[in-house]
Structure 1
Amino acid sequence: MSNWNPGGQQPYPPQVPHPYTPQPPYPPHPQPPHPQPPYPPLPQPAAGPFARLWRRFGPLHTARRVFKPSRPGIVQDPVVARMQKVRTWVGLGAVVWMSITYKIASSIGDAVETRADQSWISVLVLSVTFPVAVGVLLALVPATARRELLRRAAKCFGAMVALIAAVFVFPATVLTGFVEGRFATNPVMAVVTYTTILFILVWVLPFIVWGIGLALVHVFRTADIHETMPPLLAMALVWEMALIDLFTDAYAGVPAPVRILLMLGAPVSVTAVGLWELGRLRSRHGLVVRDLLMREATPVPGPSA
């Protein structure tokens, strides 16, 4: 006996470990997802009737419908569209910067105003160039395709008329004395006068500004005629504007190298972008300039028997 075993009990026999037999792994049981109560979407504030009307008939949305091409089946390349916007903003920034740097304009506002005047002159020149281009196409396309050509060109002419008519509103209101309140002879006519002036400032002016930008980027939606026509007309337009600057002595007093850079910068850059666009349309989409003639491809004769 010992203090650790006072009763003299026999010690427990040693336990022999039971041999472990490995069991095959059980396939995992897919656990069904814990059901979650469906959460309703957050309520969106309902647009009022005025907001819905403004979204549908506002000046910017209307300008997009009027000046962006929408022919069924038209090829829209987002890379080309992005390049056109980049070229437009880079050209505007370069002209403004050089005008300020070389004292062509006294301030940024004057430079932007000069650029806006040039944009409007470009719209007028394009309004003359486009009918000439359509006339040339009418003489070259087959007689069976002339009606289709005129149908496609109708929206282009409509965009020109819409922009020129919107711009004509301002001189018309000034020349008739409408802005000065000439016709506000009674309370009713005063309300009509001030409402019209407010409409011109809130709707017509944004439509003109946005429309001029879209008209120059999309070249009066001439892609409705064919996708290769916008780059062709854009290249013709910038070289016409360069000739106008040359004959009107647009940059008098500017050093000769800077003058050459100002006059040739836009034509060269726009021509490079236009040629790149034509190459992309040909390589990516199979569209070439001769498709403007709307002539059916001549079938290749098969081998004779």
Structure 2
Amino acid sequence: MAPPPYPPQGPYVPGPRAPHPAAYPPPHAYGYPAPPPSLSARFREDDWPTLRELAGRVHGCLWVPLLLCVWPALLLFAGYPLVRSARTQARRVFPADQRTVTDPSVARAQKTRAWAAALASFVILAAYGSGEDWDQAWQQFTMRLAFTPWLLLLSTPLVVLVLFRLAPAHARPGMRRGVRPAVRSVLWYFGAFTATPLLAWASVLLGRQLPAEPVWMPVGFLLMLPPVWTAMFVAFSSGRAVRSAFNTTLVHPTLPALLTGVLVWEFAAINLAVGGLPPGPPPVQLAALLGGPASVTAVAWWEVARLRSRYGVRLRSS
């Protein structure tokens, strides 16, 4: 039997181990100011940094070539506040996702279905498509981006009316309160969408009346600011307007799923009428034409079923 180890002797007796540096609280927990967020973090937030804050982060040596060039400096000092204002207003009109009920499993299924559909489309085009088919696929993608807000504007009232018809009487006042912000956001979006070409046309007409002298060039530049602001507002708000269906997600938790199921079949009909059948043999054409809308509809109805079984959200009173 081995003898027990000797206890440590002398002044070098090991003491308690110091905690890992990650275990220490951050400096601002002791009253020190927290470090300012990085510029990339500020640009990911809803409120971009002001021009003064942005100028404070730029190194002094970079201002020399910038100020020596008139147009870059003019675009920075006049263009950045304009773009920042349009983005801030777009985030104010269309805030982040306001769904009262969210299901992480449904979100994962939607993301998986989207990637699978993109991969299937790529495989079909690579196997059977020609150059014209690739061009047509890109045209359908751009057409979908342009038509989605208008289809939402036409389809959302119909789906909302169906929901009001199915909902119990005690739930309708709360649903009406959710309609008001949706109407305001629709007026903001389509007002800016309509005003952009009108303001651009008016600014061009006014610019032609100015004398052809360099001193009047800043005036022509200022005339273009209103249409640029409205165009930037439409660009920054389009994504959130589509995702929130113009803030109608507060009307009923099942509205996004129902709208998705309606829109996907509308786009399938538009693509068939404009571009015809996808490339490939008839079984592949039928699968490509109906597989996407059918899978989106299946995920949408699965979302409705999970809202009913897990969260008690029902379409009807019974």
TM-score per shorter chain, which class?
Answer: 0.5 to 0.7
Shift of 1:66: 0.7
- Mapped to 1, the partners of 2:115 and 2:252 lie a distance apart of 25
Letter in 1 for 2:50: P
- Mapped to 1, the partners of 2:188 and 2:123 lie a distance apart of 32
Report the equivalent of 2:62.
none
Normalized against structure 2, the TM-score is what? 0.61
Report the equivalent of 1:195.
225
Higher Rg: 1
What does 1:252-271 align with in structure 2 at a 5 Å threshold? 254=279, 256-271=282-297
Contact 1:232 1:274 in 2 (8 A): yes
Contact 1:227 1:287 in 2 (8 A): no
The runs of at least 4 aligned residues of structure 1 exceeding 6 Å deviation read: 36-39, 52-56
Letter in 1 for 2:36: Q
Q: Which moved more, 1:157-166 or 1:96-105?
A: 96-105
Alpha-carbon spacing, 1:45–1:263, altered in 2? closer, same or farther (3 Å): closer
Alpha-carbon spacing, 1:220–1:172, altered in 2? closer, same or farther (3 Å): same
Shift of 1:115: 1.0
Are positions 1:288 and 2:313 aligned together? yes
Are positions 1:273 and 2:274 aligned together? no
Letter in 1 for 2:264: V
| Uncovered stretches (5+) of structure 2, i.e. residues with no partner | 8-12, 29-33, 40-48, 55-80, 211-215
Q: Which moved more, 1:262-271 or 1:81-90?
A: 81-90
Q: Which has the higher helix share?
A: 2
- Mapped to 1, the partners of 2:83 and 2:227 lie a distance apart of 21
Alpha-carbon spacing, 1:157–1:221, altered in 2? closer, same or farther (3 Å): same
Shift of 1:90: 4.6
Identity %: 27
Contact 2:192 2:233 in 1 (8 A): yes
Report the equivalent of 1:44.
36
Contact 1:59 1:204 in 2 (8 A): yes
Q: Report the aligned-residue RMSD.
A: 4.5
- Mapped to 2, the partners of 1:81 and 1:132 lie a distance apart of 25
Alpha-carbon spacing, 1:82–1:152, altered in 2? closer, same or farther (3 Å): same
Contact 1:67 1:159 in 2 (8 A): no
- Partner of residue 236 from structure 2, selected from 198, 207, 216: 207
Deviation readout 1:3-42 (Å, 9 max, x if unpaired): xxxxxxxxxxxxxxxxxxx9xx9xx9975969x9999578
Alpha-carbon spacing, 1:61–1:260, altered in 2? closer, same or farther (3 Å): farther
Deviation readout 1:94-114 (Å, 9 max, x if unpaired): 446645652374656x63342
Letter in 1 for 2:312: L
Letter in 2 for 1:59: R
Deviation readout 1:219-251 (Å, 9 max, x if unpaired): 4443312222211221122223333444x2531
Shift of 1:91: 3.8
Deviation readout 1:53-90 (Å, 9 max, x if unpaired): 8998563883486164426xx12223333443444455
Normalized against structure 1, the TM-score is what? 0.63
**Equivalent residues, number:** 259
Contact 1:159 1:220 in 2 (8 A): yes
- Partner of residue 153 from structure 2, selected from 103, 118, 127: 127
Alpha-carbon spacing, 1:191–1:114, altered in 2? closer, same or farther (3 Å): same
Letter in 2 for 1:163: Y
Are positions 1:103 and 2:130 aligned together? yes
Letter in 2 for 1:182: L
| Uncovered stretches (5+) of structure 1, i.e. residues with no partner | 1-21, 298-305
